[in-house]
Structure 1
Amino acid sequence: MMTKRTLVIGDIHSGLKALEQVLLRAEVSSTDRLIFLGDYVDGWSTAVETVDFLMDFEKTHECVFLRGNHDELCSNWLQTAEDNPTWLQHGGASSVQSYNKANKSTIENHIGFFNSLVNYQLDPDNRIYLHAGFTNIKGVEYEYFTKTFYWDRTLWELALSLNPSLPKDHQYYPKRLVHYDEIFIGHTPVTRIGKTTPQKAANVWNIDTGAAFFGPISIMDVHTKQVWQSDPVHTLYPNEKGRN
């Protein structure tokens, strides 16, 4: 009998070609449980196709889709058509171009998908998954501002700056890190620290390997820590700039 894996998938940013590639490389099957960390759109040209793929994929696989900040921004635009120049400059323009080719039914279905996204997922082994982070020292259930779950960068910054020799029972050990055995996030590309593979700091795993820029999409088995990666996404979209 095949062992059921829990696989966590980093930021995609409309890189459908890379997503399909890495799913094949990880030999993903219907026995696996997949946790997507968010940011499905805003980057490469295949935003509509990426969301279509995920919606179809969910029909045959056990999936958890977390909310990313770019998913909220794109969803807001789809529902209100409000001008957001900052979003357009940070990947939104490619999503606008993609959705301008979509019909009304597709857009309505995608709004439903974006509205169904969840802010975090806690598994039976006390691992928590969320797009960005949280700030409340008591944990996610006590977070005052839910947008923190998909906008915060201080959790990763804190983990990176922590003295590795500081014991968890020390009075200065960050209280928000002690509630979960492992924390899986995306949002802040590890390429910012010169890496292109998932990185661990304290008990925080960052799976965003820079798919929106010059990095690949990554999948990690949360139990074994085995990693699979696509080719650098920009090589699969040679005539595009992405968010670069």
Structure 2
Amino acid sequence: MFKWSSSKTQRRKPRLPEGIRIYAISDIHGCADLLQQMFTVIDKDLTTIGSRRPIHVFLGDYIDRGPDSYRTIELLIERGRRHESVFLKGNHEAFLSDVLKDPSQLEQWKQFGGLQTLASYGLRPSLKSDAAEQAELVHQLATRVPPHQHRFFASLRLRFVCGDFFFVHAGVKPGVPLAQQQEHDLLWIREEFLQSEAHFGKYIVHGHTPVQEPDIRFNRINIDTGAYATGNLTLLTLQGDSLLAL
């Protein structure tokens, strides 16, 4: 369990608007069982919320690497039907979209964790495939993804702002106003953002780069704890100027 401490932030703590509680999760990567466990934790916490407005924020990378991308997407869609939820796009969802448009990227996607996603949709590709086989496999995948999941992927957002917080998958490019950030940076940026000591105008909540435990800085927090490799999926709870990651 991790909380803000005065030693970790020397500026005024960022705040959410009064009456809002946010639950944020990033980089699920097909770990449906871990996601279900976190929903149980959230449901218990919701019994303490009183009249506050709860918002679920998911920071992308729902698929690839882990064992059950299909069920992960189903859980998220069902959650979104019953709770106010914001679903952001991760670079893995962007990669899936690229593959569906261009089957020649299939081999690269397979090395990127796509094999596990294909398996979760009931597909077993050969180790080596020519262009025709790749095109057929991508066609099969497009038909195995049900229409409501296609709509889910198409609806993913790049960012979400609430109060002093800016939620995004990977991070932001230093020196560029938040309103002018480019999609590639929001989904893929690493070192230039991670090493920056700048104040970005909002407090950045992100994932994308795995860390052993939630990384709380004065200008950002990284909540990607490598669930598919470590078995640890982090839940961040925000309310007022309080922050709790578990």
TM-score by length of structure 2 reads 0.74
Q: Which amino acid aligns with 1:99?
A: Y
Summarize the alignment of residues 73-152 of structure 1 with structure 2, pairs less than 5 Å apart: 73-100=95-122, 104=143, 106-123=145-162, 125-135=163-173, 137-143=175-181, 145-152=182-189
Displacement of 1:103 in angstroms is 8.5
Q: Which SS does the other structure have where 2:195 is aligned? A: helix
Q: Which amino acid aligns with 2:153?
A: F
- CA 1:206 to 1:155, structure 2 compared with 1: closer, same or farther past 3 Å? farther
- CA 1:4 to 1:133, structure 2 compared with 1: closer, same or farther past 3 Å? closer
Displacement of 1:156 in angstroms is 4.3
CA distance in 2, matches of 1:185, 1:98: 26
Q: Which SS does the other structure have where 1:58 is aligned? A: helix
Displacement of 1:117 in angstroms is 0.5
CA distance in 2, matches of 1:97, 1:81: 17
Q: Which SS does the other structure have where 1:220 is aligned? A: strand
> Does the CA contact (< 8 Å) of 1:29 and 1:61 recur in 2?
no
CA distance in 1, matches of 2:180, 2:105: 33
In the alignment, structure 1 segments of 5+ residues that lack a partner are 163-173, 229-244
Task: Report the count of equivalent residues.
Answer: 203
Q: Which amino acid aligns with 1:153?
A: R
Q: 1:187 aligns with which of 185, 197, 208?
A: 208
> Does the CA contact (< 8 Å) of 2:178 and 2:201 recur in 1?
no
Question: What do the CA deviations read for 1:91-144 (whole angstroms, capped 9, x no partner)?
Answer: 111011122457837433322211110101111x1210000112151422122x
Tell me which structure has the larger Cα radius of gyration.
Answer: 2
Q: Which amino acid aligns with 1:226?
A: L
Q: Which SS does the other structure have where 1:6 is aligned? A: strand
> Does the CA contact (< 8 Å) of 1:133 and 1:154 recur in 2?
no
Summarize the alignment of residues 40-79 of structure 1 with structure 2, pairs less than 5 Å apart: 40-79=62-101
Among the aligned pairs, what percent are the same residue?
Answer: 27
Question: What do the CA deviations read for 1:155-193 (whole angstroms, capped 9, x no partner)?
Answer: 54224xx4xxxxxxxxxxx3xx2411x110000001xxx
Matched, 1:200 2:222: no
- CA 1:178 to 1:70, structure 2 compared with 1: closer, same or farther past 3 Å? closer
Q: Which SS does the other structure have where 1:34 is aligned? A: strand
In the alignment, structure 2 segments of 5+ residues that lack a partner are 1-18, 48-52, 124-140
> Does the CA contact (< 8 Å) of 1:79 and 1:111 recur in 2?
no
- CA 1:86 to 1:36, structure 2 compared with 1: closer, same or farther past 3 Å? same
Q: Which SS does the other structure have where 1:7 is aligned? A: strand
Displacement of 1:87 in angstroms is 2.1
Displacement of 1:215 in angstroms is 4.2
CA distance in 2, matches of 1:33, 1:10: 14
> Does the CA contact (< 8 Å) of 1:75 and 1:111 recur in 2?
no
Q: Which amino acid aligns with 1:117?
A: L
> Does the CA contact (< 8 Å) of 1:13 and 1:42 recur in 2?
yes
Displacement of 1:78 in angstroms is 3.7
Larger helix share, 1 or 2: 2
Q: Which SS does the other structure have where 1:208 is aligned? A: coil
1:226 maps to which residue?
A: 244
Matched, 1:158 2:158: no
TM-score by length of structure 1 reads 0.75
